[in-house]
Every structure is written in C-alpha cells, then in structure tokens.
C-alpha cells in the first residue's frame, strides 16, 4: 500500500488533516505598531508629536510619551532590524511557491499532497522520520492558510525579535513549533498536520511572558494595551479551535506554553540595555529546548 493510500485511510479515520490555523483579526494594529517601530510622529500608538517637538502638550508634561520614546530608542539600539522574522516569512512563502509550481493545489491541497514534502503523520514520524516535526512547520494547506499565518507572524514577530534578540527569537520559534508538532502527533496520531501556527503561538506566548512580567521592559501604557490585545487574540483563537475540528488546537496550546516558558529564560528587566547577557541566556534556552524536545520525542516512542 502506498503512502498516499495510508493517508487517505487516515483522513477517513480521523476526520481529515489537522491544520494549524490562526484567526488574525483579533490582533489590533494599534497595539502592535509595526512590530515595535515608532511611527513618524514618535508615539507608538500613532498620536505623538513630530520629531524634535518638546515633550509638553498644553502646558503639562506627558510622562507616558517620554517613556515610550525612550523605549523605542532603546529598542532601536538593541536590535535595529528584525531580520530573522523577515527571513522566516520569506522561507515559508518560498516553500509554498515551490509546492504550487510542482503541482500542489493553490487553495485546497489534500493531506496526501503535502505528505511527500514533509508533513507530520504519526506513524511515519514515530517510525524514524523525526525531521517531519521540523519540516511540517513550513508547509501550509493552501494560500489562505499561509496568508493568515504570515500576517500574524509579521504583526507579532518583529517586536519579540527586537526584545529578545535574533538568536533567542529563532530558538523560541523552532522550539514552540516542534513542541506543537509533538503534541499534534500525540493527540491526533493518524492525521496529517502542517502549518506554522504552533511556532507563531509560541511567539505570542513569548510576548505574553514579557508583558506579564511587570514593569521594567515595556512602557506601562504599551504593556497594558498589549496584554488586552494578546488576551483577546488567544481567547478568540482557542474558542474558534474548539468549534472547528480541523484546527489543531493541541499544537496551538502547547506552542503557546512553550513560547511563554522559553521567554521566561530570556526576560530580565534590563534586557534592552544589557544586550551582552543575550548570549548566555540564548545558550541556556538552547540547551533547555534540546532537552525538552528530546523528552517530548521520547514520549512518542
């Protein structure tokens, strides 16, 4: 029996492929202004005075705006550009284009279409093809699936990368994605899984860990706005996942928790100014991530 036949049987038994899907409408652009880049007015919420203006308005001192301006300057000095996030978006798009040019349907590929390219399927993954936990993160079930995931990654990713640094960001992304893939294999062993949502939920979880850690990293007003926005995003997507059986809720939840816990190892109150500490914290996160992934894979054996 061919692999495609196995997949067809698995789809009938499990209700189809499991898609890691994110509903993007619940992240507010006002709360995530270009991934932490200040707009021309200087205020992270788009209401600031023009560059060079005195930090006074109507005769009183606006401490919140000064705090946010200092934050953006520290962010610019710590990590000027979010190159890893941009590279991940381009890589996902590149893989999707390659698949479409090779004959995979643009809008509604079947599970059997993605399996030869590295989608996650329990019997194959646990049978020795562990690399599927990684490759499945860069595959998507159609154009809309890709666009939704990449839109959220571009909204949240740049700010997180600039806060934790490029190496820490990449480790968080891969760790959360692989952990989500392991959870998907455990919960839905006979369903084909693909998508970057587990990894993206990990980035959202990392941002939640940073903003929930109290004052010292983000300005107070920005932190409050981000907590509200992240809370709405998580609740909405989890409820939607409960209503749509094709969505792999297990990968979302485990990815979210993995990113949150991983960011706790990277977060400290002076993380934007003492960037020399990043290398040690990145190494710690890398070691812990490898050990955790090894433990999770052992659960699949």
Q: 248 near 19, Cβ under 8 Å?
A: yes
Question: The domain spanning residue 140 has which CATH number?
Answer: 1.20.1540.10
Catalytic residue among 136, 184, 197, 250: 197
State pTM to two decimals. 0.78
DSSP H or E stretch at residue 298: helix 278-300
Residue 161: domain span: 3-34+80-300
Residue 259 in any domain: the answer is yes
CA distances from 142 to 19, 237, 251 (A): 10, 19, 19
User: Higher confidence at residue 273 or residue 227?
Assistant: 227
Residue 6, pLDDT above cutoff 50: no
Q: Is 14 a catalytic residue?
A: no
Task: Summarize the confidence of residues 192-198 as an average pLDDT.
Answer: 92
Task: Summarize the confidence of residues 248-256 as an average pLDDT.
Answer: 90
Residue 46 in any domain: the answer is no
Residue 139 in any domain: the answer is yes
Q: Is 140 a catalytic residue?
A: no
Q: How many CB atoms lie within 10 A of CB 186?
A: 15
Residue 246 in any domain: the answer is yes
Rounded distance between C-alpha atoms, residue 204 and residue 131, angstroms: 24
**pLDDT at residue 63, rounded to an integer:** 62
Tens of pLDDT, residue by residue over 23-63, are: 444 444 444 444 444 444 444 433 344 444 443 344 334 66
Residue 52 in any domain: the answer is no
Q: Read off φ and ψ for residue 273, nearest 5 degrees.
A: -105, -35
Task: Summarize the confidence of residues 78-85 as an average pLDDT.
Answer: 88
Q: How many CB atoms lie within 10 A of CB 2?
A: 8
SS3 category, 24 = helix
Residue 211 in any domain: the answer is yes
List CB contacts of 61: < 8 A, sequence separation 6 or more.
55
**pLDDT at residue 257, rounded to an integer:** 95
How many domains is the chain built from? 1
**pLDDT at residue 276, rounded to an integer:** 74
Residue 77, pLDDT above cutoff 60: yes
**pLDDT at residue 62, rounded to an integer:** 60
Residue 116's pLDDT band (cuts 50, 70, 90): very high
Residue 44 in any domain: the answer is no
Q: Read off φ and ψ for residue 50, nearest 5 degrees.
A: -65, 160
């Amino acid at each position: 029996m061919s692999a495609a036949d196995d997949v067809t049987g698995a789809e009938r038994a499990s209700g189809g492929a499991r898609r890691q899907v994110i509903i993007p409408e619940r992240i507010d652009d006002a709360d995530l202004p270009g991934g932490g880049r200040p707009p021309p007015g200087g205020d992270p919420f788009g209401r600031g005075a023009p560059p060079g203006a005195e930090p006074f308005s109507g005769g009183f001192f606006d401490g919140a705006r000064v705090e946010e301006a200092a934050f953006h300057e520290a962010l610019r000095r710590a990590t000027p550009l979010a190159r890893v996030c941009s590279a991940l978006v381009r890589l996902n798009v590149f893989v999707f284009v390659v698949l479409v040019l090779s004959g995979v349907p643009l809008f509604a590929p079947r599970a059997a279409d993605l399996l030869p390219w590295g989608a996650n399927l329990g019997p194959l993954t646990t049978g020795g093809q562990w690399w599927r936990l990684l490759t499945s993160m860069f595959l998507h079930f159609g154009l809309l699936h890709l666009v939704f995931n990449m839109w959220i990654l571009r909204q949240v990713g740049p700010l997180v990368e600039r806060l934790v640094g490029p190496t820490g960001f990449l480790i968080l992304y891969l760790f959360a994605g692989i952990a989500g893939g392991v959870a998907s294999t455990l919960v839905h062993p006979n369903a084909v899984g693909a998508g970057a949502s587990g990894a993206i939920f990990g980035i959202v979880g990392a941002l939640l860990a940073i903003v929930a850690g109290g004052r010292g990293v983000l300005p107070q007003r920005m932190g409050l706005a981000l907590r509200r926005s992240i809370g709405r995003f998580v609740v909405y997507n989890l409820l939607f996942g409960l209503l749509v059986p094709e969505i792999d809720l297990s990968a979302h939840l485990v990815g979210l928790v993995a990113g949150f816990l991983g960011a706790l190892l990277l977060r400290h109150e002076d993380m934007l100014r003492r960037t020399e500490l990043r290398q040690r914290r990145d190494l710690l996160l890398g070691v812990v991530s490898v050990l955790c992934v090894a433990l999770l894979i052992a659960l699949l054996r």
